[in-house]
Amino acid sequence: MKLITLCLFLFVSLLKAGDRPNILWITSEDNSPYLGCYGDKLAVTPHLDKLASQGLRYRHAYSNAPVCSTARTTLITGMYASTLGVHNHRSAVAIPPVFKLYPEHLRAAGYYCTNNSKTDYNVADIGKKLWDESSNKAHYKNRAEGQPFFAIFNFTTSHESQVAPKPGKTSFRIAPEAMPLPPYHPDTPEIRRDWANYYDQMTLMDTQVGQVLEELEKAGLADETIVFYYGDHGGALPRGKRNIHDSGTRVPLIVRIPQKWQHLAPAKPGEWVDDLVSFVDFPATVFSLCQVPIPAHYQGQPFLGKKKASPRDHVFLYRGRMDERYDTIRAVRDADFRYVRNYSPHRPWGQHYSYPFQVQPSMRSWYAEFAAGRCNDVQSVYWKAKPSEELYQPMVDPFELTNLAQQTMHQDRLVKMRQVLREEMLSTRDTVFIPEGMYSQLAGDQTIYDYAQSDAYPLERLMDLAGAATMRNAANLPAFMGALGDPHPLIRYWAATGCLILQEKAAPAQKILTSLLQDDFKDVRVVAAEALAYLGEKDSSLAAVKGVIETGSLYESLAALNALDFMWKAGHVTRDEARAMVKNLKTKEPNDRIPKYLLSED
């Protein structure tokens, strides 16, 4: 490693600062392409529209995950978060120490790296020396004379916490009553006000972007700096952030390349680029532009610069735990279609996430309308159990309302994209099938990445089993029953999940499931207990869940709390019984949120 570092230093020392561009990343949180330059007629975004006229607009840019920490972790590592096991929101997971993060490579190459100011990574023990500066005062102006810089300016103005109008706000650029709504949202005053206010926030964010660009211009650095603007994932309103659809993963991406480096651009200023790109590609692209060697373990491919790769034919998307709720999903998106594989089809898209319910009147209003029976079929589906597979054609169906997975005319497409997703998961050694609570038990002294790369992780077998488990087909029950006694805990876990998804149809497996209430792995106990609740074993199920809540690790306890909540919602326990279990429970965030919810009057 020391030899590699020395060679890199000697290489970059031969480069003059003027031979390498500065890189400025401007990011805004929680917004889809709600910009005038992307054709949104409601948007007033003059500064970003001007930047687009001077640069390139990417029509197909995606955050690999629809939540900030997982998206940022994909960026900072240059790898799929699902490969490293860092895909669960606000986690702290060790990765191999030889996997250096992109600012470390840029700094070794002589770049001054600043972050203003969000970090929010799911990697453990990053330390304070990752950046030259990381704070709300971090700035490229503090670099040494002639030193190239890489700088991030991140704006929270469009974040979900800013969706609701501030108290006393009564004036909106677009009157709420005139605001068009997506068809999946019911028509309520709260939803209209949140949408109207959000467009005001987008205009405010645009002004902030303009200030950063003006500062760059005044410093005389615009001609030496490649500017990236992008959203950190999809939109802030309900069914945006946290969702794997375009509304949660498609982002605006504008790249302005000065004349000096126009030979590296794939199109002329002001034009569209139709290449598919995703966040995993961003670090490799910066290295390509800055003449920095791309680490062999990086999974992204450059879409600009001397090392520009051939365009992708699809991007890979993933989600795991969001806030306090588990929901395992994988997807691939090409230029025309999106294929989604739901490994938690027994959970709705719209679980009760405490944070958005707290900060967004629109979320509370939508759920209240659903609970009162006032939502139509399109508006109701968000709050119901999911299909096992989804297939959409967003260019024809931009709100992704019509699932084509069961339509005969699209079966060839379904089979093809199902195989593409399978190959992605296998080639990247996706940690998708490992419950978060099992990480330390399975990995031991290794990282979960090392475990998942080894033969100890039976990925192909798990993929077949989990695929069958999530299809709601009772014909698979004999296979599940055989797998419930398997020596491998992950096999037992997914076999029990198959029984849970089958609900009452899993009755023949009741005796074997009961034996799993004493399993060595508490995550297995939890899923077996929830499955048994559908088979009438209330007392033993509740006792098993209670035991894990009280004695499990942080994430084992969280899984048990989720199971308890869904057992109540399914009518297997009363709310008073659930409340009694958590009344005096001392928990840490995020597993303190479900007890607060169960104890509330909502």
Catalytic residues: 68
What is the CA angle 401-38-341, rounded to 5? Answer: 35
The number of CA neighbours under 13 Å toward the Cβ of 353 is 24
Q: Are 523 and 437 within 8 A, CB to CB?
A: yes
Q: Are 550 and 582 within 8 A, CB to CB?
A: no
Tell me the one-letter amino acid at 375.
C
Q: In what order do the strands lie in the sheet with 389-392?
A: 315-319, 329-333, 338-342, 389-392
Q: Are 508 and 535 within 8 A, CB to CB?
A: no
Tokens encoding 465: 């089993």
Tell me the one-letter amino acid at 549.
I
Tokens encoding 294: 């791309």
Q: Would you tell me how many other CB atoms lie within 10 Å of the CB of residue 577?
A: 15
Q: Which of 487, 591, 597, 484 is nearest to 548 (CA)?
A: 591
Question: For the chain, percent helix, then strand, then coil, each to nearest 5?
Answer: 45, 10, 40
Q: Are 110 and 12 within 8 A, CB to CB?
A: yes
Interacting residues of 497 by C-beta distance below 8 A, sequence separation 6+: 466, 469, 470, 527
